[in-house]
């Protein structure tokens, strides 16, 4: 090692310490050889499990080849950041499950109740990269957080941040799965960390609880049946046969996570960005359905929810309001909310409103 070259082992430990200072729960390092993932990725795409997410198919196997995405890449600095809001009480899992049985409750995935994680994660990863530059000098890097064709879970698994659960999400022994992932692809040959041993055993809880049976096998999800896909990624009409299964989940679905035994260890967020905003953890569907487009855009400024737009927001809420009939058929406030959008300018919204009203008759 020359006088100008950094001590890579010492730098790796420093990077992990800096990660903690920046709010990450853990930072680890992996090589970027993901050839073992290519057959599974190809089979998943060929089965059509990606649905209308054409960007998944367009990048193809490049997702498993980080060095093609960022030439010169030899390592991935992988980070995870907890996102449970600080205000979550001890019995939060039971409370989240109970809201699924409340007729008027709007159930929104926990991760989406605060600020947009893409921006939070990338900004802090960029800060970490700048600190590395201060020690190592100029180096090649690029930061990601669900923002590029990268197999994030596979890299994180390889780094030892956790293991892939049967629901395909990463699970950590000390932190469950309620955390975001992000990476810095670098051209520095840092020492790598050992992967974690899987600890799901014979547990099938996530597979059993899925409302739409989207987990078609261990580590295999048919996105076309996943509520997160249906309420977030799908741009058009939600298939009629899937609507009743969605219940009152109006943005995403946490069922496979809340039922996971490892999430008794889920940790609260270390940063305020993920604190709940606009009462989204307690909101009713009727109240959210009344938001104008201007109100939606203003209140969802800086939120991951805003990217689906007001039209799909209303589509999702209409389905949830229709499903409320299973517990409160003909409830006046719910029917009135639906009637208020019966002449909505959007054909997509009108279609779902009519379906919902028919459920209340």
How many CB atoms sit inside 10 A of residue 225's CB?
21
Q: Which of 146, 187, 193, 344 is catalytic?
A: 146
Q: What are the φ and ψ backbone dihedral angles of 233, each rounded to 5 degrees?
A: -85, -35
Q: Among 57, 355, 33, which residue's Cα sits nearest to residue 223? A: 57
Cβ proximity of 78 and 159 under 8 Å: yes
Spatial CA neighbour of 86 closest among 256, 301, 281, 216: 281
285 phi/psi in degrees, rounded to 5? -65, -40
Phi–psi pair at 128, nearest 5 degrees: -65, -40
Number of helices (H), then strands (E), belonging to the chain: the values are 17, 10
The closest of 307, 301, 299 to 278, measured between CA atoms, is 299
* Euclidean distance between CA atoms 176 and 161, whole angstroms: 11
Is 146 a residue of the active site?
yes
Question: How, if at all, do strands 249-251 and 107-108 pair?
Answer: parallel
Q: What amino acid positions are annotated as catalytic residues?
A: 146
């Amino acid at each position: 090692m020359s006088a100008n070259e950094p001590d890579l082992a010492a730098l790796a430990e420093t990077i992990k310490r800096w990660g903690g200072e920046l709010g990450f729960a853990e930072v680890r390092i992996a090589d970027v050889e993901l050839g073992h993932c290519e057959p599974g990725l190809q089979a998943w795409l060929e089965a059509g499990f990606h649905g209308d997410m054409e960007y998944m198919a367009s990048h193809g196997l490049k997702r498993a080849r980080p060095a093609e995405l960022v030439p010169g890449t030899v390592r991935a600095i992988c980070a995870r950041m907890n996102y449970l809001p600080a205000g979550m009480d001890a019995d939060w899992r039971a409370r989240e499950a109970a809201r699924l049985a409340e007729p008027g409750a709007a159930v929104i995935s926990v991760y989406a109740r605060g600020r947009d994680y893409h921006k939070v994660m990338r900004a802090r990863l960029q800060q970490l990269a700048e600190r590395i530059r201060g020690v190592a000098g100029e180096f090649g890097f690029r930061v990601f957080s669900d923002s590029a064709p990268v197999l994030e879970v596979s890299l994180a698994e390889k780094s030892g941040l956790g293991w892939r659960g049967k629901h395909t999400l990463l699970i950590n022994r000390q932190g469950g799965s309620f955390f975001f992932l992000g990476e810095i692809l670098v051209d520095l040959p840092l020492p790598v960390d050992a992967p974690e041993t899987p600890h799901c055993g014979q547990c099938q809880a996530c597979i059993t609880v899925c409302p739409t049976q989207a987990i078609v096998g261990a580590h295999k999800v048919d996105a076309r049946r996943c509520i997160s896909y249906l309420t977030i990624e799908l741009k058009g009409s939600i298939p009629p046969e899937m609507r009743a299964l969605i219940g009152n989940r109006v943005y995403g679905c946490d069922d496979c996570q809340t039922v996971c035994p490892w999430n008794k260890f889920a940790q609260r967020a270390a940063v305020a960005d993920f604190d709940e905003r606009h009462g989204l953890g307690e909101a009713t569907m009727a109240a959210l359905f009344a938001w104008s487009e201007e109100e939606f855009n203003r209140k969802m400024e800086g939120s991951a929810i805003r990217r689906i737009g007001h039209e799909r927001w209303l589509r999702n809420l209409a389905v949830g309001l229709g499903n409320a009939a299973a517990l409160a058929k003909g409830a006046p406030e719910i029917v009135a909310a639906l009637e208020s959008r019966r002449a909505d300018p959007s054909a997509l919204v009108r279609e779902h409103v009519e379906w919902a009203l028919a459920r209340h008759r």
